[in-house]
Structure 1
Amino acid sequence: MRLYGREWTRRELEAHVGSIGQIGSVRRMQLTEGKEKGVEMIQVRTGAGLAYNVIPSKGLDISLAELGGTPISWQSPNGDVHPAYYEAEGTNWLRTASGGLLMTCGLSHVGSPAEDSTGRYGLHGRVHHTPARQVHAAEVWNGDELTLSVSGVVEETAVFGSKLRLIRTISSKLGENRIIIEDRVENAGFKCCPHMMLYHFNFGFPLLGEGTQFTFPEADVIPITAGVPPEGYDIWEQPDPAAAERVYEHCLASGIADEWGMAEAAIHCPAFPGGAGPAPLSVSLRWSADTLPRLLQWRMPGAGEHVMGLEPANCTVDGVRGSGHYRELEPGESVDYKLELNLAWKS
């Protein structure tokens, strides 16, 4: 593996430490105060500067993510609030949404609250507030490479309703500033059911600043928020208490996927204050374009709510069920999703 500017074998590295956890590790913790009391957290440290917290209590989503001790994610004022406080009706999801690097939206509903013959659906669905089971945290050597991983199962079920199962693995390698998310969603029931999926990645200060630049895949950019011009989605500014959120859909051009079937968007910060001092940093998000053919962008340069969301999805966010703007899974059918977050210092 490559670490600290040189190549190492496993035994060479182990000779320099009493425990490899001195450099990088997967470590279980539990929060103990306020609305966060009882929330389980698994901290992943890669040894290259990247550290992030996976939350089994909340759908195996990712809360705070840092590079060299400096955050790249936006944290909501709610904190990592326990899912027991979740209120499913209307927009009450906003009272307990953690922010963090990733909030998964779905599994059977995404977007605005909706109601149809199968019931009522609150903002962005239930999966972000559903605890995982069969949670496994591991450090596994393969030759001279150490993989750090967290995996588990999140189920969204109802008697007479949908029975969807998310099987998730989040992994990184020692010495790398990269996160890989591999998901499978399967219909464990015996009736066809709607499946909506949106990966709500939240980026914040100091990654976002007036000099920050964005790179998006080739696409037609359509503002979803009423009355918003199509311009301005690719710039950033100082916090403004009067700012209003804007949502854009990037309708990806055909053929934009690379040889691995992945699309990519990136954030470029000219002076990220990590490591030895401010230096250019690029944070790229890649996703499987065949199963996540849409990219939503949530732009909110407000005061306190100072965040930009990049959101690969298989659906729209209008909350309209029956529109056909999502995927339906037949009994026993499954769909795979893959996403990668890469952090790279630039010269």
Structure 2
Amino acid sequence: MANPLNESWKDTAQVPRSWEARESLVANGSATGCRQLEVRVEDGVDLRILPDRGFDIGQAWWRGRPLGWVDASRERPPDPDLSGTEWIGSFSGGLLTTCGLRHIGQPRDGHGLHGKFSHQRARMSGAASRVVEGETVVTASAVVEEPGGFDALFTVEREITTRTGVGQVEISDFVTNQGASPELLKLLYHLNLPHPKVGDALNLDGRPLDADVLRLALDTVELPASEESRLEIVTAERSLSISWRRFSRLYLWAAPAAVGPVLAVELATASLVPSGESGLVLEPGEKTEFGLSVCVRESQQPRGHSNG
């Protein structure tokens, strides 16, 4: 039986487009020995998935150009010490970094910055394809577990989907409380993007955001958004839009860096402020779903409002 992680490019006589999924081990640098899953599709979004970092997405490319922001250290291994602000020392960007599941935000109440999820090792299921409306849809899946002490366990069934012919990647997370007691769930998707340049547009649900929002993001700024909002960044070359479901909070965080400044789009189920909403409570055996979609396409119209 063929291993779906080692398939060569598909024969276009059998399917409409080509795709490949290949697992490898890093052989050099700080992430030596860590697993990577490369998923490539014809004329779609190519992905580097990091199974040893919560099955998060490292870099992603569309038509040969990177979508995410990655710092000079590239990928890093999981860190066994996540107390205080140690999390930031192993943060190297990537399109998606997942935070939680028991804490998000600054260290407090015995929890380190942004929790432990992105340092859990995933149990991979593999990659599979199907044909939908003439295009090949490829889904990579895995299970990630986050224990919380005696008889406390969250499991996340994660599916990451890309497809041929379309600049789109989708993430679906099915979170289950496998423990014996109710658990407070806090989840945050940390999307890391190149910082918009002067003249680029930033729109929320089709409305331009004030230019000052990027300056305020240097200290983290919360934006008014609903559980099904859409954020769009429009440049001269492309339009990148982010839409989601089940996230009630939207934050922007910006920072300078040697490889170029980063803009983080943070989707959260709870407030980052200690006095804010606390999150979702899952009863034993209860399952809930969260989702995210990132779409990119060539710019076809004037950018409108400028962040200059």
TM-score class, shorter: 0.7 to 0.9
Q: Does the residue aligned with 2:212 lie in a helix, a strand or coil?
A: coil
Determine the structure 2 residue equivalent to 1:233: 213
Structure 2 CA distance for partners of 1:338 and 1:245, relative to 1, 3 Å: same
Determine the structure 1 residue equivalent to 2:271: 316
Partner letter of residue 312 of structure 1?
L
Counterpart check, 1:325 vs 2:298: no
Structure 2 CA distance for partners of 1:329 and 1:306, relative to 1, 3 Å: same
Counterpart check, 1:215 vs 2:215: no
CA contact 1:49–1:69 (8 Å) conserved in 2: no
Determine the structure 2 residue equivalent to 1:298: 253
Partner letter of residue 181 of structure 2?
K
Partner letter of residue 71 of structure 2?
S
Q: Out of 243, 251, 256, which is 2:224 matched to?
A: 251
Shift in Å at residue 59 of structure 1? 0.6
Structure 2 CA distance for partners of 1:176 and 1:134, relative to 1, 3 Å: same
Shift in Å at residue 218 of structure 1? 8.1
Shift in Å at residue 173 of structure 1? 1.5
Q: Does the residue aligned with 2:88 lie in a helix, a strand or coil?
A: helix
Shift in Å at residue 139 of structure 1? 2.9
CA contact 2:45–2:62 (8 Å) conserved in 1: yes
1:149-188 pair list within 5 angstroms: 149-160=139-150, 162-188=152-178
RMSD: 2.7
Shift in Å at residue 134 of structure 1? 3.7
Gaps of 5+ in 2: 1-9, 301-308
Shift in Å at residue 50 of structure 1? 2.4
**C-alpha distance in 2, partners of 1:16/1:148?**
12
**C-alpha distance in 2, partners of 1:124/1:15?**
45
Q: Give the TM-score taking structure 2 as reference length.
A: 0.85
Structure 2 CA distance for partners of 1:294 and 1:218, relative to 1, 3 Å: farther
Identity %: 27
Q: Give the TM-score taking structure 1 as reference length.
A: 0.76
Determine the structure 2 residue equivalent to 1:14: 13
Determine the structure 1 residue equivalent to 2:92: 98
Gaps of 5+ in 1: 1-9, 222-229, 237-243, 271-279
Counterpart check, 1:74 vs 2:69: yes
Q: Find runs of 4+ consecutive structure 1 residues off by over 6 angstroms.
A: none
Counterpart check, 1:56 vs 2:51: yes
Q: Does the residue aligned with 2:191 lie in a helix, a strand or coil?
A: strand
**C-alpha distance in 1, partners of 2:260/2:89?**
13
Count of residues paired in the alignment: 290
Counterpart check, 1:109 vs 2:103: yes
